[in-house]
Chain A
Amino acid sequence: MTKGLSIIGAVLGLAIAAGAATGQDAQQKALNDATKARQAQMQLYAFNLGQLGAMAKGDVAYDSAAASAAATNLASLARLDQSRLWPEGSDEMGVEGSRTLPALWENLPDVMSKGSDLVTAATAMEAAAGTDLASLQAAMGAVGGSCGACHKAYRVPSN
């Protein structure tokens, strides 16, 4: 009897431990997934900026339709609902490959304001990109500035 109880106790204990482990794994996976998703979004920003930047630099001939398409993508990306992409804990310590500083979660109003600066700059680019090359070139600075402002404040430096 005593033996039977202790076996049941041991099985229960195992089950609880396994449950806790599964919960932890699921939580970690959620943090990893969100990090991967926002990094993918950054890649999409970079790809579309690359289309615009190549024209701004003169590496590629200016093409109004292609510039408009890239700028529309950029602005759409900037307007995506990112509220699920930045769960607390998905910082450089919590997720392998994350370069987000914990300070991001301590300064959410500032993060939101920097995010809305990007929307403003990307919207201006959307209006400028199809107009002519000079307008596109003039709009690059504000986009770069808004990306850089957030990176400077909330990203681990790369070197």
Chain B
Amino acid sequence: MIRSLTYLAALGALVLGGGLWLTAPERVDPDALSGLVGVPARGKAVFDAGGCASCHAAEGATGEARLILSGGRAFATPFGTFRAPNISQDPDHGIGDWGLADLVDAMRYGTSPQGQHYYPAFPYAAYSRATLQDIADLQAYLVTLPADATPDQPHDLGFPFTIRRGLGLWKALYLDDEWTVTGDLTEAETRGRYLAEALGHCAECHTPRGPLGGLARERWMGGAPNPSGSGTIPNITPARLDWSEADILAYFTSGFTPEYDTAGGSMADVVQNLAQLPEADRAALAAYLKRLAPVD
């Protein structure tokens, strides 16, 4: 009896320990960052490709106001309502006191400076593939942007999603640095893949999710219900999107579809960001889209 209790206790400790180990937030090895020097001008391209302003600028902000990253935008999802935090340079309400390691921990591991898991509404499952140099450049650009003292609004989530520690399991399932489109890619397609799968996080909306909120990679870019609103996000694989590369490039540049209608919904914001990128990057994205496996 006592022996079986001991076994049980040992088993319990093991499960608990395993669970704690499995769910512990990860951080970058500081040695990996030594010698990295960020360049603000390159960081602006990372900022635009990553679409930071689309979520972190105030709702409805246009023009220069999109560089005030005060947060506050609400995203209603099946798990509850997430609110984008302030990532401006305010040291108290924003991320003005962050070092490079903090930004790398956030973007590549979804880990906050306090060692907590971020919710994956922040698309670190894509940013995990970003190069350290790009994150260093982004950091160098972010520090040139204004500070704003708007306090963060709390997320509004239901149990059990309120337990952040549980996100460790989600990360164990879905966080990796593998590419989805593989094979023999041209230089442009490889660049397009980096922009789409790492920085641009296109799949976060264009790929359907499983019951736990992980991307269903076998239906990569095959269209999905709108994650924060009504309607659907379109299938952009060659099975459905029959636009030429020139059509796609024009859409990313001016927002015009081949029928000369305009991008709607969240995609209007995305086009606004993409239009800032070098044309070669937009062309690379178009080339990448043509390499997607068709999803019916």
Which of these, B231, B232, B261, contacts A46 with CB under 8 Å?
A: B261
- B272 lies within 8 A of chain A by Cβ: yes
Question: Which residues does B use to contact A, with CB under 8 Å?
Answer: 62, 226, 230-234, 246-247, 249-250, 253-256, 259-265, 268-269, 271-272, 275
In the bound complex, residues from chain A placing their C-beta under 8 Å from that of B233 are 159
In the bound complex, residues from chain A placing their C-beta under 8 Å from that of B246 are 57-59
Q: Smallest distance from the beta carbon of A105 to chain B beta carbons, Å?
A: 18
A interface residue count range (under 10 / 10 to 19 / 20 to 34 / 35 or more): 20 to 34
Q: Is the CB of A57 within 8 A of B247?
A: yes
Question: Which residues does A use to contact B, with CB under 8 Å?
Answer: 45-47, 49-50, 53, 56-59, 140-141, 143-145, 147-149, 151-152, 155, 157-159
Q: Smallest distance from the beta carbon of A154 to chain B beta carbons, Å?
A: 11
Which of these, B226, B247, B254, B269, contacts A140 with CB under 8 Å?
A: B254
In the bound complex, residues from chain A placing their C-beta under 8 Å from that of B269 are 152
Q: Is the CB of A46 within 8 A of B272?
A: no
Q: Is the CB of B264 within 8 A of A49?
A: no
Q: Is the CB of A144 within 8 A of B262?
A: yes
Q: Smallest distance from the beta carbon of A14 to chain B beta carbons, Å?
A: 44
Q: Is the CB of A145 within 8 A of B254?
A: yes
Q: Is the CB of A151 within 8 A of B262?
A: yes
Q: What would be 8 A-B contacts, judged by CB atoms less than 8 Å apart?
A: A45-B260, A47-B260, A58-B246, A144-B253, A147-B255, A147-B262, A148-B268, A149-B62
CA distance in complex: A79, B281 (Å): 35
CA distance in complex: A63, B71 (Å): 46
Q: Smallest distance from the beta carbon of B228 to chain A beta carbons, Å?
A: 12
In the bound complex, residues from chain B placing their C-beta under 8 Å from that of A145 are 254-255, 272, 275
Given A58-B246, A145-B272, are A157 and B253 also a contact pair (CB < 8 Å)?
no
Q: Is the CB of A151 within 8 A of B264?
A: yes
In the bound complex, residues from chain B placing their C-beta under 8 Å from that of A157 are 230-231, 264-265
Which of these, B232, B256, B264, B272, contacts A53 with CB under 8 Å?
A: B256
In the bound complex, residues from chain B placing their C-beta under 8 Å from that of A57 are 246-247, 249-250
Q: Is the CB of A148 within 8 A of B255?
A: yes
Question: Which residue of chain A has the shortest Cβ distance to B232 in the bound complex?
Answer: A159
Which of these, A49, A56, A58, A151, contacts B268 with CB under 8 Å?
A: A151
